[in-house]
Amino acid sequence: MPYQYILFEADQGVATITLNRPEVLNSFNMPMAAELQGALRAAADDQTIRAVLITGAGRAFCAGQDLAEAAPADGSPAPPIADIVRRTYNPTVRAIRAIEKPVVCAVNGVAAGAGANLALACDVVIAADNASFVQAFSKIGLIPDTGGTFFLPRLVGLARATALAFFGDRLSAADAQAMGMIYRVVEAARLDDESRALARRLATQPTRGFGLTKRAFNQSLANDLDAQLEVEAELQAEAAGTSDFAEGVRAFLEKRQPTFAGR
């Protein structure tokens, strides 16, 4: 499928999706969000794709909502904000959480507003050392969306989440890592190689099990311990039914490296 606002490439089991509106720092208009959702669906449906990598073109990762679309300068009517949130961001976050394949996010520059929270919805976030995270919503009188009110307090705690949301200050990638918001920071020049290596490595692993792990983590965000222990029993049985489990055990006993197929 041809895309106008994103790039989509499949290679070595990894689907790489690049937000591609660099002239506006890859800020989201509705068509870009629709393309991103379509690309995530394509990645979910394609059995040969075993990991997804999301990044941005140019110097930014994503500056959140395209404010020219939300509030057109020429006075033409803007779509209702709730519609933008429901159509642009909510399905995108749901798609990232629902795809039962690892989603790596390579934050290559500033991630602001919905762009910051899009990254936080991904499974593994790796950032360039010159990247930054801004809960920019407060600067324009809005609240964090794109799952920010869900993920941010869970990742960094309510005290830090509240301060980040209220002040809207730019947070360096190093500080984001230090407070547990993201997984890893690398030299900017190494981000491309390192993020691809992470995604490729994941794509060769027991990805069916990763999908089940992700399902379990998703459920743990709402469950109590008893319910979650039961989820683990059920999903462990499913994981143990995969050929990757059989291969993993066999390879261990035969003292060789396993070859996982993601099934």
Positions touching ligand LHQ (CB under 6 A) are: 24-25, 27, 63-68, 70, 81, 84-85, 110, 112-114, 134, 136-137, 139-140, 142, 145
Surface-to-core class of residue 149, CB atoms within 10 Å of its CB (0-12 exposed, 13-18 middle, 19+ buried): middle
Instruction: Give the residues across from 125 on adjacent strands.
Output: 105
Nearest to 205 by CA among 234, 237, 248, 166: 248
Pairing of the two strands 103-107 and 124-128: parallel
Closest CB 109 distance from ligand LHQ, rounded Å:
8
Angle made by CA atoms 74, 79, 83, in degrees to the nearest 5: 160
Beta-carbon contacts of 252 under 8 Å, excluding residues fewer than 6 positions away, are: 258
Euclidean distance between CA atoms 70 and 100, whole angstroms: 32
Instruction: Give the residues across from 62 on adjacent strands.
Output: 111
Nearest to 221 by CA among 53, 97, 86, 85: 97
Closest CB 8 distance from ligand LHQ, rounded Å:
23
Q: How far is CA 244 from CA 76, 198, 263, in A?
A: 55, 20, 6
